[in-house]
């Protein structure tokens, strides 16, 4: 049975790779991203490749609970339920915790952490209408260890991991599975312009493959937490 799925940060990188991987298994694919041009391009590319409908909403998740409400209201006009909610949107801010501006830190937390909290709360009614209820949160290996090149991002991913653990426990009674996927260094825009040897970064499709696996699980199974690292370890950012 095909699914109805929503992906945040769906215009580039990991989010777009997930969309491409699961699109053939979807009746309807909902994409949300801040970059309107990138989102339009992703929608056009996916629409050509798959038979299911692809819908897109430009939205900046720095808007907190209001952004989450807007996304849910839009989704409710497109679908009657959501089978899979993929919370992938995120970005990073370079700079030491002691030096980064308070505003940058707050905004980084707003997108990387609070957006997931608000979106889960908003989408619970649509998830409860599904018979295969899944939430996938894209974390980071920065949620398990210090992340010196972008510590605000690392802190947000530690918080996201705690959110996943607690929502997983809380939503079991609703048979809503919560999976946290934490990739290491991945070939996304975060690494553009850096001198990284070939083969030292994960491919976004590696993360997408895990999401596809989550979709195929039986209703009584949940993949709690997955860490994916480059085979030869994490490359350092230039300047670290």
Distance CA 70, CA 187 (A): 31
Number of DSSP helices (H) and strands (E) in the chain, helices first: 7, 7
Question: What pLDDT is stored for residue 94 in this prediction?
Answer: 87
pLDDT in tens, 186-196: 767 665 656 66
User: With 70 as the cut, is the pLDDT of residue 237 above it?
Assistant: no
Whether this prediction's pTM lies above 0.75 is answered by yes
Distance CA 229, CA 38 (A): 27
Contacts of 138 (CB under 8 A, 6+ apart): 9, 14, 15, 86, 87, 88, 90, 181, 182, 183, 207
In degrees to the nearest 10, what's the CA dihedral of 48, 54, 59, 60? -70
Pick from 22-26, 84-88, 123-127, 171-175: least confident: 22-26
Please work out, in degrees rounded to the nearest 5, the angle formed at the alpha carbon of residue 115 by the alpha carbons of 42 and 48.
Answer: 15
Pick from 20-29, 47-56, 117-126, 215-224: least confident: 47-56
- Most confident listed range (174-183, 189-198, 231-240): 174-183
Question: What pLDDT is stored for residue 186 in this prediction?
Answer: 77
The whole-angstrom distance between residue 81's C-alpha and the CA centroid of its chain comes to 19
pLDDT in tens, 19-63: 999 999 999 999 999 999 999 999 999 988 776 799 999 999 999
Which SS3 state, helix, strand or coil, does residue 30 take?
A: strand
DSSP 111: I
């Amino acid at each position: 049975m095909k699914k109805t799925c929503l992906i945040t940060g769906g215009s580039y990188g990991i989010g777009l790779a997930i969309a491409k991987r699961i699109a053939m298994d979807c009746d309807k694919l909902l994409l949300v991203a801040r970059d309107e041009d990138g989102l339009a391009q992703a929608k056009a590319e996916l629409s050509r490749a798959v038979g299911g409908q692809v819908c897109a909403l430009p939205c900046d998740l720095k808007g907190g609970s209001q952004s989450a409400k807007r996304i849910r209201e839009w989704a409710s006009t497109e679908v009657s339920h959501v089978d899979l909610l993929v919370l992938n949107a995120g970005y990073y801010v370079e700079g030491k915790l002691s030096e980064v501006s308070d505003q940058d830190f707050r905004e980084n937390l707003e997108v990387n952490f609070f957006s997931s909290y608000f979106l889960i709360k908003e989408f619970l009614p649509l998830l409860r209408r599904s018979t295969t209820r899944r939430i996938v949160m894209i974390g980071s290996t920065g949620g398990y260890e210090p992340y010196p090149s972008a510590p605000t991002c690392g802190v947000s991913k530690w918080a996201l991991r705690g959110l996943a653990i607690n929502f997983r426990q809380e939503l079991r009674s609703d048979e809503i599975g919560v999976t946290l996927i934490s990739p290491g260094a991945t070939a996304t825009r975060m690494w553009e312009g850096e001198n990284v040897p070939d083969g030292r970064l994960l491919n976004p499709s590696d993360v997408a493959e895990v999401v596809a696996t989550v979709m195929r699980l039986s209703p009584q199974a949940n993949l709690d937490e997955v860490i994916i690292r480059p085979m030869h370890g994490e490359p350092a950012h230039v300047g670290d």
